[in-house]
Amino acid sequence: MKIRHLEEVDHKDLHEIYSFTEVLENTSQLPFMSSSQVSSLFSAPNQYTLVAETEGKVVGHVTLFLTNKVRDKHTASIAIAVHPEKHGQGIGKALMHEAINQADNWLNLVRVELEVHSDNLSAKALYQKVGFEVEGVKRLSTYKNGEYVDMVLMSRITPYLN
């Protein structure tokens, strides 16, 4: 597996990842996204996206969403998705470790935060393994598969500043 920066040619593979219900249901997006909609998720200037590539194909990504807010420049939010056929193979963990490396050592970030659906137990476990802690719960925050679900708020603060 190779981790590298997102390139234009990767959008087709990202669209495939986001075509799977088991991926999309854990995002804030609606099903059946077009390729241009998926591409637009990764085209904002204040993003830093890394991809995991195996056998010439992108099988996952992690994106740090930076802010223009002057007083929040030490903070970013993070999003990740891995191709369902590659779940449980360490790709998500490798992507998260590299995103944290970039945040700590290159982007000068102190706080990385995320929201995760309360029923997404494997994602919550991954985030905790790489140093994220639960900060709170947004009750009935999102609508998914015909019912409201809670969102768990998690963050990772740079360890040497704790």
* Of residues 17, 42, 44, 18, the one with CA closest to residue 31: 18
How far, in Å, CA of 108 to CA of 102, rounded? 8
* Of residues 58, 59, 63, the one with CA closest to residue 103: 63
Which CATH number is 153's domain given? 3.40.630.30
* Of residues 126, 12, 37, the one with CA closest to residue 79: 126
* Residue 71 · residue 125 · CB < 8 Å: no
How far, in Å, CA of 132 to CA of 93, rounded? 12
pTM of the model: 0.93
From start to end of the chain, where are the E strands?
Answer: 2-5, 47-54, 57-65, 75-82, 111-117, 133-144, 147-157
Count of the separate structural domains present in the chain: 1
Task: Tell me the per-residue pLDDT of 8-54, one tens digit each, with 9 for 90 and over.
Answer: 999 999 999 999 999 989 988 888 889 999 998 888 889 999 999 99
| Full domain range(s) for residue 126 | 2-161
Task: Tell me the per-residue pLDDT of 135-160, one tens digit each, with 9 for 90 and over.
Answer: 999 999 999 999 999 999 999 999 77
